[in-house]
Amino acid sequence: MNLLDARQAAGLLHLNVKRVQQLAREGRLPATRVGRKWLFPERELAALLGASRADDAKAAPVSGGLSARNRLAGRVSGLAFDGLMAEVRIEIGDQELVSLITRASAERLGLRVGGPAFAVIKSTDVLVATEETSG
């Protein structure tokens, strides 16, 4: 079992370290306290994210960086084009997220059903990204 410290868990979950510690104290994250240090089972955190493997959850940041921290790894479960728009359905664990983006963006990202994608959530907006995003 691979254990992560609070900083590593925060990176995996895309949360602030203080927030991760608070969630652990509240029992909302699987964790063990050893002295003053919190330890988190990597596999269980990855399962909470809906990632099939811990590596999926630790994917490299989008090329060029991104200010949004809420990035959920998933697979494209549906893709429908209508004129200039595209409806993208991303399966994240046992949930499905739907986003409307431009057709040009979907084509530039190389989205395909079954392919990997990220739902990037910033306030009320949800953006779609892939590992190989090029400017």
Q: What residues are paired with 52 via a beta bridge? A: none
Arithmetic mean of pLDDT, 19-45: 89
CB 12 within 8 A of CB 4: yes
**pLDDT one-digit tens code per residue, 44-76:** 888 877 644 444 444 444 445 555 567 788 999
Distance between CA atoms of 32 and 120, rounded to whole angstroms? 29
CATH architecture of the domain with residue range 70-129: Beta Barrel (2.40)
**What is the model's pLDDT at position 133?**
53
Q: Parse the chain into domains and list their residue ranges.
A: 3-54, 70-129
Cα separation, 106 vs 66, in Å, equals 18
Phi and psi of 106, rounded to 5°?
-60, -40
pTM (two decimals) = 0.47
pLDDT, tens digit, 9 for 90 and up, residues 76-127: 999 999 999 999 999 988 889 999 999 999 998 999 999 999 888 776 666 7
Q: Which of 49, 57, 51, 99 is nearest to 79 (CA)?
A: 99
